[in-house]
Every structure is written in structure tokens, then in C-alpha cells.
Amino acid sequence: MSDPLLRLSGLTKAYPGVIANSDVSFDIHKGEVHALLGENGAGKSTLVKMIYGLVKPDSGTMTLNGAPFTPPAPRAARLSGVAMVFQHFSLFEALNVAENIALGMEDAPKQRDLAAKIKDVSHQYGLPLDPYMRVGDLSAGERQRVEIIRCLLQNPKILIMDEPTSVLTPQEVEILFKTLRQLKAEGTAILYISHKLEEIRSLCDTATILRLGKKVATCTPAETSAKELAEMMVGETLHVPERAAGEFGEVLLDVNGLSAPAPSEFGTALKNVCFTVRAGEILGIGGVAGNGQDELLGALSGEVRAPAGAVSLRGKDISRLGPQERRSLGVLAAPEERLGHAAVPDMSLTENAMLSGAIRKGLVSSGFLNWGKAKDFADEVIKAFDVRTPSASNAARSLSGGNLQKFVIGREVLQDPDVLVVNQPTWGVDASAAAAIRQSLMDLAEKGAALVVISQDLDELMEISDHFAALNEGRLSATRPIQGLSVEEIGLMMGGVHDHSGANLEGAA
């Protein structure tokens, strides 16, 4: 075996109260696709940030091509041939593609030359891009291309990709994998971060698995089953909830011709969304991020008023009602963004319980707030959903993502909704919390509530939904029973091709 391109030995990084990485060592070779696998909070991001020069290790060393590698800043890492495609936060929406790319390069050429180069490289790798488009106007998949091209223009030796497929449709994933295989053939090493096991098994040569900041194993994913990988990642055998096909009751929520203008410059307009959900049914709504998920939740929760007649509960029009009025009728919601939307970061859990529970839990009488009762309700949620926190008087932001998510979902579930709309119920949540949340949603449906679960995690939707539909640019596909639906078909629905006439996919050509 040849000398490794990048060798990590004994990397350790601690934050107050958390050890993000403890004594992590592994090698990456030229032309290798190396998976970094682990749950949320396993320490993947911190490890990668150390390689990219954003964070300095407390101890341990790295060598690149045999020489010591201690990048003091991302710039130094880039100069040494390390490039990174981020999951979030690295594009500037108001700037155009070429400007965005120039910002990530050390010696960016003139705009016009750069634009020509972008066109060249993007075609060479099958990722077409217009250099003068504003990034804010691009789809999630196209934005990722911007990041990838930005990296490729610098001929990296190592390309780090952080959860690259979470924003892509299955077809777009195929295109990406083709590009990555091409890069691998050219000798580029790829460090691929993901928690999606099947992807890793099909793409990666080697996998390093992290759990609670420690390396658990390095293995060859093609020779390891998905179940084994999952168990190494989680460290225990997981209880997978089962969804029994049940009888559905009357139609509770009827959405018919729901349209709404885009709330902001970079938002998505809803266009003629139609669906129904019956008592006891879970409707899963899939789709790539930024296709109208937030807007749909807002229109159903009442944050945005819908045109008259568009949303009805048991045949009664509720389109023009606000969130509190809808709550009193039994329509509840749990938004995706935990801090700042579903909960107020600097307020206590008691105050956050008051936020949505005021009416249904009788926490308010003639305008005056009953804090005693609100605390009781918060305690009830904490107890029933196993929320780990010293007390209900702690601020929401002091909770970990998983615990806060349990609180947010629990707060709505314990109000006995007739209709519950949730967006990304398990986003960024560790596996055991995710399983508990899914179980509680299914139990709620069992009791006769109608649920709309919006999620970008297809596996999750496959697991808990009865029916499936997909959002694409604010349009909702026809609703179909989940059973018998193939990944292929789901991909087409997410890509906006609703019939099966074999339409071309943009970008595949």
C-alpha cells in the first residue's frame, strides 16, 4: 500500500462540557473515497473543521504527503490542496455565482476569465452552471454545484463533502456520484461525511465510524451490511417502529387549491396545493429543501392566511383564521426551525410551553397568564417525552437539539390535536430521540388524529407514512399510497415530474 495522502493521528478536541473528538486516527489515500460515518453529535463536523483549519486540535497531529500539516486557517488548508463543500453557511445569496466562487479562491482571476473557466469546468464534470446567475435564485442542488465547482477550480488533492446528498433528489444524487467517481479516477481523495448507509455502501472504498467523538472502526463498506454499519454507528440495536396499516376515519383536513405568494425575495410561492388527510392517517410530504416546506407549514398553522376556501377542517373553512384560532379548533403545528420559530431561545421552557399551549391547556384566563399551570404543562412534556433538562426554568437554547425537538413535538402532541402538521420532526436529532419522536407521531395517529409530516428524510417518510406526496417549487404532486412506491418513482415526484411519461431531467443531459 502506498503512503497515505493525509494521516490523522490522535486528534483530540474538547469543548467545555463536551469532548468532540478523542484520539481519532485514520489515513486517507490518493484516489480513495473515504466515508466518515456517525450520528449527529458524533464529532464528524469538528474533525473536518480541524482538517480544514477552522478549529485547532487540542492534541494530535496531521500529516499531508508525509509532511506535518497544521493549517492555521482555511486559507492555508486550501493552499495545501484541501477543499471543502459545506452543508450550510458558505454561499452569499445576493452575490452571483462567479463572485461566490472568487471568494473561495486564493488568487481569483478577473471576473470574465473566471466565468469562462467556470463554464469549462462545470461542463467537464457534468454540472452545468451560469456564472452570472444570482445564487439566491438557484435551487439547492445548483447551489451545491457552485460549491463543488469552487473546490474543483483549485485542483484539490482532498475534497471534503459534508452531507452532500441531503439537499438532492435521487436523480441529482446519481449525477453527483458520477462526478465524484470521475474525480476519484483522476486521483482526488474524497472525504465523504454522511449518515446514509446505502449511499456509503455504493460509493465509498473505506469507512471510518465515529461514535461520541471516538473512532469505533474502519471498515470496507461494500463488505459490511447496512445493519452492521448502523449498529456500529449507534452502538446498540435499534428498535425500528412498525406502522400497522389501519383503517382511516373521516376526512379531517382538506386542502384545496392552496396558493400563497412567496413571503420574501428568496422564498417559494405555493401553487395550487391540494390534498386531504383522514383521521388516523399520516401523510408524508417529501421534497428537497427550499421547495415550499416552510411556506406550507405556515399556511396550515395559520401564520400566513390562506385564500378563503383553501383549508378546511371537517368541512369548515379555516383559511382566514390565525394560529390561535386554529389551535382552539384542534389544528396544531411544529415548525422545522427549533430555535427562533418553534421555540424562543432565551425564554424558559415554561414560557415556551405558554407559547403554543396557552389556549388548549387553559393557561390563560381573560388575558392573564397562569404561570403555575404553564410550568405544570412544561413539566408534563418534559416527563412524558424524556426531555433531559435540569428544570423547566432553563432556557430553550440550553437544551441539545434532540432534547429541544422532543420538547417541541411533545408540547404539541400533549395538546391532543385533531390535526398535527410537523416539518422535519427529527432533523439533527440522534437516532434514539428520532425513534421516540416517530413513535409518538404514530401513536397520535393511532388515536385518531390526522398528521401531515413534512420531511426531507425519505427513509423516515417511508417508515411512518400511509400516503406520500412531494413538493417541488411550491407545487404538490398527487398523493399516492406509500406501499409499492419505488425510490425511482419518489425521485420523479420530487423532481416535479408527476406523470410517468419519461420526461428528461434537467441536468441529466
Partner 1 sequence: MDLSSINPILLIASLMVSATPILLAALGELVVEKSGVLNLGVEGMMITGAICGFAIGVNTGSPVLGFMFAAICGALLSLAFGILTQYLLSNQVATGLGLTLVGLGLSSLIGKPYEGIKSPTLQKMEIPILSDLPIVGRMLFSHDPMVYFSIALVAVVWAVLKYTRAGLILRAVGESHDAAHALGYKVVRIRIMAILFGGACAGLAGAYISLVRVPQWTEGMTAGAGWIALAIVVFASWKPWRILIGAYLFGGVTVLQLNLQAAGAKVPVEVLSMSPYLITILVLVIISARGNHGAPAALGKIFHASR
Partner 2 sequence: MIRLEKRAQPSKLWTLATPFVAVVLTMIVGGIMFAMLGSDPFEAIRIIFWDPLFSEQFAAYSRPQLLVKAGPLILIAIGISMGFKAGIWNIGAEGQYIIGAICGAGMGLAFYPAESFIIFPLMILAGALGGWAWAMIPAVLKVRFGTNEILVSLMLVYVAEAFLASVSSGLLKNPDGMGFPGSRNLQQYPAAANLEIFQGSGMHWGVLTAFLAVIFAYVLLSRHMLGFQIRLTGEAPRAAKFAGVNPARIVFLCLGMAGALAGMAGMFEVAGPAGQITIDFNSGYGFTAIIVAFLGRLHPVGILLAGLLMALTYIGGELASLMLGIPGAAIQLFQGMLLFFLLATDVFINFRIRLSKTEAV
CA–CA separation, 298 and 319 (whole Å): 12
Q: Which of residues 294-333 bind partner 2 (CB under 8 A)?
A: 301-303, 322-325, 327, 333
By CB under 8 A, is residue 74 in contact with partner 1?
yes
By CB under 8 A, is residue 368 in contact with partner 1?
no
Burial environment of residue 421 by CB neighbours within 10 A (0 to 12, 13 to 18, 19 or more): buried
By CB under 8 A, is residue 132 in contact with partner 1?
no
- Beta bridge mates, 331: 419
> Which residue's entry shows cell 396557552?
358
- Beta bridge mates, 191: 34, 160
CB of 314 to partner 2, least distance (A): 21
By CB under 8 A, is residue 153 in contact with partner 1?
no
Cα-based distances in Å from 112 to 58, 102, 118, 125, 144: 43, 11, 10, 20, 22
Residue with smaller CB distance to partner 2, 134 or 305: 305
Task: State which of residues 1, 88, 315, 367 lies at the interface with partner 2 (CB under 8 A).
Answer: 367
Residue with smaller CB distance to partner 2, 79 or 355: 355
Task: State which of residues 223, 244, 247, 368 lies at the interface with partner 2 (CB under 8 A).
Answer: 368
Residue with smaller CB distance to partner 1, 70 or 90: 90
Write the interaction track for partner 1 spanning residues 83-122; mark x where CB under 8 A is met and - where it is not.
---x--xxxxxxx---x--xxx---x--------------
Burial environment of residue 365 by CB neighbours within 10 A (0 to 12, 13 to 18, 19 or more): exposed
| Amino acid making up residue 200 | I
Indicate which of partner 1, partner 2, none lies near residue 103 (CB less than 5 to 8 Å, by partner kind). Answer: partner 1
Strands of the sheet with 316-317, listed across from one edge: 270-278, 251-260, 311-313, 316-317
Residue with smaller CB distance to partner 1, 214 or 397: 397
By CB under 8 A, is residue 487 in contact with partner 1?
no
CA-wise closest residue to 400 among 420, 381, 383, 386: 386
Burial environment of residue 425 by CB neighbours within 10 A (0 to 12, 13 to 18, 19 or more): buried
Element (H, E) at 206: strand 206-211
Cβ(149)–Cβ(475) below 8 Å: no
Cα-based distances in Å from 213 to 21, 218, 404, 456: 4, 14, 21, 26
Residue with smaller CB distance to partner 1, 104 or 495: 104
Q: Which of residues 52-71 bind partner 1 (CB under 8 A)?
A: 53-55
Q: What are phi and psi of 287, to 5 degrees?
A: 140, 155
Pairing of strands 18-28, 6-15: antiparallel
Q: Which of residues 30-89 bind partner 2 (CB under 8 A)?
A: 54-56, 72-73
By CB under 8 A, is residue 198 in contact with partner 2?
no
CB of 356 to partner 2, least distance (A): 6
Write the interaction track for partner 1 spanning residues 9-28; mark x where CB under 8 A is met and - where it is not.
------x-------------
Task: State which of residues 329, 344, 462, 485 lies at the interface with partner 2 (CB under 8 A).
Answer: 344
Helix (H, G, I), strand (E, B) or coil at 200: helix
Residue with smaller CB distance to partner 1, 93 or 325: 93
Residue with smaller CB distance to partner 2, 169 or 301: 301
CA gyration radius for the chain? 24
Task: State which of residues 351, 412, 460, 466 lies at the interface with partner 2 (CB under 8 A).
Answer: 351
Write the interaction track for partner 2 spanning residues 2-21; mark x where CB under 8 A is met and - where it is not.
--------------x-----
Indicate which of partner 2, partner 1, none lies near residue 89 (CB less than 5 to 8 Å, by partner kind). Answer: partner 1
CA–CA separation, 508 and 236 (whole Å): 40
CB of 310 to partner 1, least distance (A): 26
Indicate which of partner 2, partner 1, none lies near residue 90 (CB less than 5 to 8 Å, by partner kind). Answer: partner 1
Write the interaction track for partner 2 spanning residues 223-262; mark x where CB under 8 A is met and - where it is not.
----------------------------------------
CB of 103 to partner 1, least distance (A): 5
CA-wise closest residue to 472 among 261, 176, 264, 168: 168
Number of residues this chain uses to bind partner 2 (CB under 8 A): 39
SS (H, E, C) 348-406: EHHHHHHHHHCCCCCCEECCEECHHHHHHHHHHHHHHCCCCCCCCCCEHHHCCHHHHHH
What beta strand segments (E) does 72-163 contain?
Answer: 82-85, 158-162
By CB under 8 A, is residue 412 in contact with partner 2?
no
CA-wise closest residue to 287 among 415, 122, 442, 477: 477
Q: Which residues contact partner 1 (rule: CB under 8 A)?
A: 15, 46, 49, 53-55, 73-75, 78, 86, 89-95, 99, 102-104, 108
Footprint on this chain of partner 2 (rule: CB under 8 A): 16, 54-56, 72-73, 301-303, 322-325, 327, 333, 335, 337, 339-347, 351, 354-356, 358, 364, 367-369, 394-395, 397-398
